[in-house]
Structure 1
């Protein structure tokens, strides 16, 4: 059995300057709080979320967003 590679979207709140490009690029994935800071999902991204997440990461002028790989153990097939 092999493990699967998934990603989670993270935000560096210190680096974030609140430009809003990320939630403009991926409004179904990234929201903003009342101060304009991004709210990112706290789950592994689905295959339909990876494209918009990559776009948001690439648009961030402060490089505050990142896709971090996470490894999940394979499910027990017994």
Structure 2
């Protein structure tokens, strides 16, 4: 099984176009101001493709992916 992945929104870069939550409605929704809200949990494997599409659809590239592990606990090879 792959390491858990989270979707992160850069609120300073986001312009609230809504393309991300229109592309991946099961992962993102709009808040009262039209900004995307992401579930804090890891992205289910079945939704990874939709998450990638949402990140690609963002004109500001405000969506990124991160490991579930904090930087201090990341594996080093």
- Structure 1 stretches of 5 or more lacking a match? 72-78
Pairs aligned (count): 69
Q: Distance in 2 between matches of 1:58 and 1:10?
A: 13
Deviation of residue 66 (structure 1)?
0.6
RMSD value, Cα: 1.5
Deviation of residue 69 (structure 1)?
2.1
- Higher Cα radius of gyration: 1
1:25 equivalent in alignment to 2:23: yes
1:6 equivalent in alignment to 2:12: no
Q: Which has the higher contact order (CA 8 A, sep 6+)?
A: 1
* TM-score normalized by the length of structure 1: 0.81
Task: Give 1 or 2: higher strand fraction.
Answer: 1
How does 1:48-59 map onto structure 2 within 5 Å?
48-59=46-57
Task: Give 1 or 2: higher helix fraction.
Answer: 2
